[in-house]
Structure 1
């Protein structure tokens, strides 16, 4: 039978043990923020041949990222390998890192610059969002036509990656808007041509 004194002594000894100190420190460790899913909006702009190019509400140029050494200092080695660029943007928006901890990828040789082009450039992002949404109607890996909505998805032979989603004309917008709304609530086609407002 354990007495009150034995309990206090045992508890104090356990609390001061290296394992207990480590466990207490672990509770204070901050984990990197992951980007939360959010509703994405697609806009259109004319291409010059009567068609419309779709683009997302993402940034027109690569947004700032957190330097690898700042991530390592905050979360430990290898953290940058498990984060995506939107994770960086969320932590920056939350004010977790100072300006000195950030950099803007601008060099073609920078892998982060290529990753942005391949995934987050507004035109490419619009392509990927629609490609995923209409995957049930796509048979080839490099392009597709969805005739019911006048949509053409295309991968262009370029480095870094560039992919586009185009509509046959503005008369296709109501059909695309209705079809997208029927399939998901996470993607919205803007009601009007936002080219002038967004100055793209």
Structure 2
């Protein structure tokens, strides 16, 4: 099962590999676009029991990635090892690669699918953003309850990884957003409580 810690450790390990070093030292190669930090927006949906599930404005399914061979053609050997998925998305959005150079991970046994699920799925991303923001209140590896905010952060026993952030009800949202705004300008809410059941 992939965790955020595994993902960060894997990224650090691959970035120091010999192939990665070779790619970085290649001459006359255009450098790949790296994803820049961006403001994330949190939304809510009822879960059916009166509670609200928070999710980010990230993609609902894996976005297309650039095939390793296409990256090597463009930037040299080992480039795939030093890029994270948002780096792929930024270059795809910028139109740097043709459709035949792209693929969409869908197989549960594909490591790229597991990495996406573990880090970028909207519900999981909302959990991770809030978990990082309130890390001074998180004491265990499998989640935390923040009673003052009526917020629950939970890691669910599943593979691929699935983590959620839930509020006891819509009456909790203004307090949470005030606390978030006091801690960061990089995370905002949409100001609207969405109606309807959570789509699966």
Q: TM-score, with normalisation over the residues of structure 2?
A: 0.83
Q: Equivalents in 1 of 2:199, 2:154: separation in Å?
A: 24
Q: Which residue of 2 aligns with 1:183?
A: 183
Offset of residue 65 of structure 1: 0.3
Query: Given the alignment of the two structures, is residue 133 of structure 1 paired with residue 133 of structure 2, yes or no?
Result: yes
Q: Equivalents in 2 of 1:95, 1:194: separation in Å?
A: 33
Question: Structure 1, unaligned stretches of length 5 or more?
Answer: 1-24
Q: Which residue of 2 aligns with 1:81?
A: 81
Cα RMSD, aligned residues only: 1.7
Q: Which residue of 2 aligns with 1:94?
A: 94
Q: Is residue 43–residue 195 contact of structure 1 (8 Å, CA) maintained in 2?
A: no
Q: Which residue of 2 aligns with 1:167?
A: 167
Q: Equivalents in 1 of 2:58, 2:105: separation in Å?
A: 16
Q: Is residue 35–residue 90 contact of structure 2 (8 Å, CA) maintained in 1?
A: yes
- Offset from partner CA, 1:46-65 (integer Å, 9 cap, x none): 01111000000011000000
Q: Is residue 46–residue 194 contact of structure 2 (8 Å, CA) maintained in 1?
A: no
- Offset from partner CA, 1:137-179 (integer Å, 9 cap, x none): 1111111011111100000000000000000100000000100
Question: Structure 2, unaligned stretches of length 5 or more?
Answer: 1-25
Offset of residue 78 of structure 1: 1.1
Q: Equivalents in 2 of 1:193, 1:199: separation in Å?
A: 15
Q: Is residue 67–residue 103 contact of structure 1 (8 Å, CA) maintained in 2?
A: yes
Q: Write the mapping of 1:99-118 to structure 2, written as runs, cut at 5 A.
A: 99-118=99-118
Q: Equivalents in 2 of 1:33, 1:195: separation in Å?
A: 38
How many residue pairs match? The answer is 174
Residues 195/40 of structure 1: CA separation in 2 closer, same or farther (3 Å cut): farther
**Hey, which bits of structure 1, 4+ residues long, moved more than 2 A?**
none
Q: Equivalents in 2 of 1:52, 1:68: separation in Å?
A: 39
What secondary structure sits across from 2:193 in the alignment?
coil
Offset of residue 199 of structure 1: 7.7
Q: TM-score, with normalisation over the residues of structure 1?
A: 0.83
